[in-house]
A and B are shown apart, each in its own frame.
Chain A
Amino acid sequence: MKKVLLYILPLLCIFLSCSKSTGKTEIEFWTLQLSPTFDNYFKEIINKYEAEHPNIKIKWVDIPYDAVIQKLMSSVAAGNPPDLVNLSADFLSKFSGMKALADYKELLPDSLLNLYLPNAIEQCTYNNKITALPWYLNTYVLFYNTELLRQAGFTEKDVPKSFSQLIKFIRLYKDRTGKYAFFWNIGKDSYLPMMLGSEGIEMLNQSLTKASFNSTEAVNTIDEWIKLYKEGYLPKECIIKPGSTVIESYQAGQTALVFTGPVFLKRIQENAPAVYKSTEIKPAITGKTGRHELAVMCISLLNSSTHKNEAAEFAYYVTNAQNQLKFCKLATIYPSVVEALKNPYFTNDDGTLEAKARITGANELPFAVKLRKYLDHPKFDLLRDSFDESIQNAALGKSSTKEALDNAVVEWNDILKDNE
């Protein structure tokens, strides 16, 4: 018996020391791939918050971007989910559909919620519930390689401003040089829904119950891109490569234009300094409506949290004007709070490319919207895959554009009906 106690006691001591309560309320806060780059920033704001709130302990956990959903699901299954999690607004409809997210309206006063950009807060609102606080934002700009343009006999004036100009430019550039002008994911993670939105072509009705992207206008607009692909004006793999690869061919010096977020400028600078030197910036390419996409990163509070008020207060602290402005100065991102966006940092041009990218994006930000309305549906992933596959089928000649879109519309209506 003594021997048994001899083995058990040290284990018991270790267990007790691990589970020793500090008497503080612990808030677990997950971010997406921000460590180690922003460690100092987070440590600083967390230390400050803890000093001001002696009863609160913040447990900051950084998760790789691609793993967040799996980690979140497994933490819920294991019964230890975080209180706050940084999510892309694209995922909110899914988690909101699962009733996993708390409503900030019940936790924070309107006076605080009104501080955020209306278009950003709109992206976080589902069924009249604010399911997340908007955090850092991004929008789209056009990067172009002045050297490649010069070699092809183009000037700055020829840089396209609209999608119809872009299609003409892509053809002309390839005809002149034999090279691709542009890489755009039209199949997997297709940007075509964004383009349709900007052209003012709705993919589905307001109540998200009926798809409509097989209208003559939609078919003709999409067919322009299918023709570009079939006739060899777009890289072969642009129908299967995921959206995250959009920058690759530009920074490899293989294409002259890239349509992406200003945040990628730093990556071009690090990975391809020669391309960076020749890079210039123009506002986002748009369709007939002139609208462009807003990308929102936000902080959601899980319904399972046992400290909702404390967690909501901390989420507000992280997203307040002062902290967001500080964060934005560390990367080319934009704040979701009106006051922070008014800061001269987003208007003063110091002549650098970064400043130009920052100002170009900031000017667009208040008018950027969610162009892909289907993201509001909890089964947006099924809808997205169905649309993507229809584009792949059309591009590979398995069916005409009209047939492919007709089939996808049938699939969409079936999915949308499920959730009516």
Chain B
Amino acid sequence: MPTFGFTHLQFLLQGALWTIALSACALLGGGLMGLIIALCRVSRFSVVSGIAWAYIQVVQGVPLLVIMFVGYFGLPALGVPVSPLMAAALSMTVWVGAYFGEFWRGAIQAVPRSQWEAAECLALTSTQRMFKVIIPQAIRSATPGTVGFMVQIVKNTSLASAVSFIDLTRAGQLINNSTFQPFLTFTVVAIIYFMLCYPLSVLSRRLEKRMARGMRGV
């Protein structure tokens, strides 16, 4: 029976790279999705904002694992062939989009009323008002929470291992199956995850503190 060695560590690090890649996909896709959802949520048309609201409620009320299964097992059943990476990235996009959408809606609506009115007085169109006045200010207040949520994204990519995507967790499982050293293997896996996530947590906390200071100055 092989014992945990350097090759295993290499395999884990390779898995970690895939975890990072999937997180990046989720961040990009989910960011785009979240922006669309947030804009729909603050729309004047109640149908549009109603649909966005329903999307958020449904996705937040269903476990990510179930969304992943829908993507991985459900799409092929409908005749759409998907690779594990595709399925995982799509599901993460849907899931992240809902959380970012709700979160950024809050940030957009937290921009003081007077800013909206001032933009209108300057005769900006509603698109200009949104992209040149409101969103730049909303980004400022949304940043700490967004960075904090990136920790959730990295952690939750581990669920992609359930749809046979070889990420860090799956790599750990495979190694455990051949070496039978679960404590060592999964501790190493946990440490790698910790090294990915902890800097993000610290950064988010620091940004939050800085924000609080900035606000007091105003």
User: Do A and B associate with each other?
Assistant: no
A residues lining the B interface (CB < 8 Å): none
B residues lining the A interface (CB < 8 Å): none
